[in-house]
Structure 1
Amino acid sequence: MKNTLVKLVGLSVNTSSFISKSFAAEKALSIFSTPLKGRPNEEQSDFLNTAFKEELQYNNIPIMTYRWLGKKETVLLVHGWESNSARWKNLIHELKTKDYNIVALDAPAHGNSGSKRFNALLYAEFINVVAKKYSPSIIIGHSVGGMASVYFQHTHQISSIQKMILLGAPSEFSGILNRYVEMLGYNRRVSNQLNSIIRDRFGVTPKEFSTSKFISNITPKTLIIHDELDKIIPYQDALLLKNAYHNSKLITTNGFGHSLNNATVSNHIHSFLEG
């Protein structure tokens, strides 16, 4: 049923492209950048209520942050697509036992943050606001949160950040976009116009927005963890990141999927932080 609905949406956008390519591509971009989930449920809200919460702002858009206080270095947690800060619950418990100072933020259009749309450039600016406020020395980013974290550091070069951990992070935005176009079955009229709109609106083509390119001019020591059976972000992306950045280490897992949310990964994170 889900696949049928996806194909019907793609067919509708394709049909509209013969009337207006621009309208069809705008619709395609809106679908691409609008999460269908990511707001916290009751259980997640209960956990997030254990934190000190503070709302920051970027261009009048609310950024919700959560803090669990500790005496060691500050760790900033950056979640991925259709998620929220509660996804870090297990890792937060581990970090708290080791007395790290923990900060998490909700992405644009996710959790309790504002915005109706999501994109990695806006997320990077959210991260910059939070980093300036709390001066983290460590960033841990999952999926597109890892991509946004690298772009943030590439753009702003915050000196306090000494280590980064990228969990299931994508390398090439063009790959993400191409998989979306393929999933919806968009025709060439839509896909070409979609690329043009992204270039005009964000000042960069999908091919130019590359984490492996951005990572080459940052300095933090970086740990990359990626599952070779990841069905969301191909393992090849991890190899691109590792090959692009000399000051990095790649840990390959098998069978943990894209979430990488388990004790083994937490142990790898701990070893890297303490090393």
Structure 2
Amino acid sequence: MKAQLLRRFVHTVVGAMAPSTGARWATDVFSSTRTLGLHPDNVLPLGADRFTVIGSPDVANGFLWGDGRATEGTALLVHGWAADSSSMHSLVPPLRDLGFRVAAFDGPAHGVRDGDQATMTQYTRAVGAVLDTLGDVRVVVAHSLGGIAAIGAAVERAGRPLDCVVLVAPACTLGGVLDRWEGGGLRLTPAVVQGIYGELHRRNGVPVSHWDIVGLGASFDRPVLVMHDPADPMVPYSDAEAVAAGLKDATLVSKPGTGHMGILMSKDVGAAVSAFVTEHRHRNRNRNRNRQGIV
């Protein structure tokens, strides 16, 4: 508590004397990827092989369960902010049981990657590089802020053979996350908050308002399953409602009692993912066959 009070005091002084410095400091804290204290050893998860990611300066490799002989293509798991790929491992078995090979990776400055700060631009480009590297991704399952990066990257690759997307406890906008942020022990005056918006714009190359699942996904026509705990203490249920209402073909399913991280480990959620993927992989492939005149 004393350390937090001292940090707040120092930041207040710095913010008053040098507002731009105070804003940069606060943006560093907001952009931290290590708030959960995670920095795992760089070891292969059980049953996985490494694959090299082409085209990303921030993510050199990822993990792959299964091989090119998988009958259904690839399912990609995208973790949330300040977590890492291990948070998604419980979804590997149900997707493997459906015949997919399953891929996951640690995002920029997350997990085994170097660094402790990242931007949404870096994360979205990393997801895109993984999609390009793997080539045959049919399913994407993304958690929390990873959903923004996943939708952003998928929309830029509209011609790829993606069947469906699952968003688990999605944060709808980066601006909403910033508005709810308590400051990590810093004093967030209106001037500092405005400075954070400006600094994030500078670092990302686009304004904070750009990072909006509904805005990014306006043209996205693949089926989307949205699952969220109404009592999630980290991301409000209203974000999931906004995502489901704003995307063209989205279904919202409530998963009470699962929490923000626990929802990933729920057997009921794993079963819901399997059922949704099974339904839409067949429907979409039959639709594509009909478009090509194949009977």
Q: 1:205 aligns with which of 204, 207, 211?
A: 207
* 2:147 alignment partner AA: G
Which residue of 209, 216, 219 corresponds with 1:217?
Answer: 219
CA distance in 2, matches of 1:5, 1:247: 48
Residues in 2 aligned to 1:215 and 1:19: alpha-carbon distance in whole angstroms = 41
Contact 1:75 1:137 (C-alpha < 8 Å) held by counterparts: yes
Q: Is the 8 A contact 1:150 1:215 kept in 2?
A: yes
2:11–2:187 CA contact under 8 A, matched in 1: no
Give secondary structure in 1 for the equivalent of 2:232: coil
2:283 maps to none
Q: Which has the larger displacement, 111-120 or 75-84?
A: 111-120
Match of 1:128? 128
Partner of 2:32: 34
Matches within 5 A, 1:49-64: 49-58=46-55, 60-64=57-61
Counterparts in 2 of 1:6 and 1:96: CA distance versus 1, 3 Å: farther
- Once the two structures are superposed, the pairs formed by residues 71-86 of structure 1 within 5 Å of their partners are 71-86=71-86
Largest Rg, 1 or 2: 2
Match of 2:20 in 1: 22
Matches of 1:81 and 1:61, distance apart in 2: 15
User: What code does the residue aligned with 1:167 have?
Assistant: V
How far the C-alpha of 1:59 sits from its partner, in A, is 5.2
Q: Is the 8 A contact 2:74 2:101 kept in 1?
A: yes
Q: CA RMSD in A?
A: 2.1
1:252 maps to a residue whose letter is S
Q: Percent identity?
A: 21
> Which position in structure 2 is the counterpart of 1:266?
270
- Partners of 2:178 and 2:72 in 1: how far apart? 39
- In the alignment, what sits opposite 2:10? 12
Q: Is the 8 A contact 2:175 2:208 kept in 1?
A: yes
Q: Secondary structure at the match of 2:253?
A: strand
Question: In structure 2, what is the equivalent of residue 233 of structure 1?
Answer: 235
Q: Structure 2: any 5+ residue segments left out of the alignment?
A: 280-295
Q: What residue in structure 1 maps to residue 89 of structure 2?
A: 89
Tell which deviates more after alignment, 238-247 or 196-205. 196-205
How many pairs does the alignment contain?
Answer: 270
Aligned-partner SS, 2:170: coil
- 1-structure distance, mates of 2:5, 2:141: 35
1:139 is aligned to 140
Q: Distance in 2 between matches of 1:201 and 1:90?
A: 33
Counterpart mapping for 1:120-199 below 5 A: 120-135=120-135, 136-181=137-182, 184-199=186-201
| 1:106/1:23 CA distance change after superposition, 3 Å | same
**Greater alpha carbon shift after TM alignment, 87-96 vs 248-257:** 87-96
After TM superposition, the score normalised by the length of structure 1 is: 0.90
Displacement, 1:33?
A: 1.2
TM-aligned CA distance change 1:161 to 1:11, over 3 Å: farther
Shift of 1:7: 4.9
2:225 counterpart SS class: strand
1:217 CA drift (Å): 1.4
Match of 2:289 in 1: none
